Amino acid sequence: MVRDTSVVLSGLKLDNPVIPASGTFGFGNEFKDFYDINILGSFSFKGTTKEPRFGNPTPRIAECERGMINAVGLQNPGIDHVIEHELPHLKSYFHKPVIANISGFSIEEYAYCCEKIDKEEQVGIIEVNVSCPNVRHGGMSFGTSPEAAAEVTRAVKAVTTKPVYIKLSPNVTDIVAIAKACEEAGADGLCLINTLLGMRIDTMRRKPVIANTMGGFSGPAIFPLAVRMVYQVAKACSIPVMGCGGVASASNVIEMMMAGATAVQVGAANLVDPYASKKIVEELPVEMERLGIERLQDIIGIVK
């Protein structure tokens, strides 16, 4: 029996739900030399801001048991370079709609970048990262307040035609309240979770391992937390969810979908093994057969 791995995300049909997460796959260029990345459902490209960013000082990475901490600081070439150089090059080796991850430090910057990227033919979905610090409000992340997250959502929806997914931060007291605020403001979907805030200390040097002191904690250790948040948000909202956080196997993908995710992003695993997403795509039909699943669509949110 042929197992149906396809899913539909805001009208966009994907061959499978496996999507490398932003910040772990660049623009796909490095990974295309390892395997044909067209086997993926899609991928979310590097978080893009209005101006080019060098990012945070080094060291930016700290290894942890069952995970890693990063404080790259949104290093990217800026929206104009992405549109003029990265997307035309990407089109030559990836032949499916891609997910554009957009970051900003003000409402105007989010709207500006999303309006520009919305015009690009190869972009199928716009993923808005609201974990950035709001420079006008003391550096508090847009994603930690329902009101601020809703304000970003409304501003972006006013200038775009493509589906807009808001990527939510787990560093909050009530992620459901923020998810519902985004849905009410017009979001087409949600992506969760982004990284947790973590820290490591070099006990010999008596200093933080990362130059930025703290960074985003990701990897298998956060998977149960991500599943819990996906479950809560999928139950509370009627828009689709992309699940993300510690996914490292086909079994993880199916668990995340049973919790309510329509598609599943693979993050830190790509940095550990460049073939991680490929292996998950290949393992999915085998895992479906083991569990007696004919169509992945049928298991979305099956856990009550």
Does any domain span residue 304?
no
CB crowding 26-40: b at 16 or more within 10 Å, else e: bbbbebeeebebeeb
- Annotation says 244 is catalytic: no
Q: Please classify residue 154 by burial: count the beta carbons closer than 10 Å to its beta carbon, then call 0-12 exposed, 13-18 middle and 19+ buried.
A: middle
Q: Residue 78: inside a domain, yes or no?
A: yes
Give pLDDT tens digits for 79-125: 999 999 999 999 999 999 999 999 999 999 999 999 999 999 999 99
Determine the structural domain holding residue 118 and report its residue range.
7-299
**pLDDT grade for 139, boundaries at 50, 70 and 90:** low
pLDDT digits (tens, 9 = 90+) for 70-86: 999 999 999 999 999 99
Q: Is residue 81 part of a domain?
A: yes
Indicate the SS3 state at residue 37.
Answer: helix
Mean of pLDDT values over 20-38: 97
d(CA 285, CA 8) in angstroms, rounded, equals 17
Q: List helix spans (H) across the chain.
A: 79-81, 87-91, 107-118, 146-157, 175-184, 223-236, 250-259, 268-272, 276-291
- Tell me what pLDDT residue 180 has: 98
If one compares 194 and 136, the residue with the highest pLDDT of the two is 194
Quote the pLDDT of residue 138: 64
Residue 95 domain-assigned?
yes
Q: Is the pLDDT of residue 137 over 90?
A: no
pLDDT > 90? residue 5: yes
Helices and strands per DSSP (H, E), number in the chain: 9, 15
In a domain, 1, yes or no: no
Which is catalytic among the residues 113, 114, 132, 191?
A: 132
Distance between CA atoms of 241 and 189, rounded to whole angstroms? 6
Domain membership flag for residue 147: yes
How many structural domains are present in the chain? Answer: 1
- Which CATH number covers residue 120? 3.20.20.70
Residue 132's pLDDT band (cuts 50, 70, 90): confident
Average pLDDT of 144-164?
97
Query: Which two three-digit tokens encode residue 292?
Result: 């007696």
In a domain, 61, yes or no: yes
Residues of the chain by 3-state class (helix, strand, coil), percent to 5: 35, 20, 40
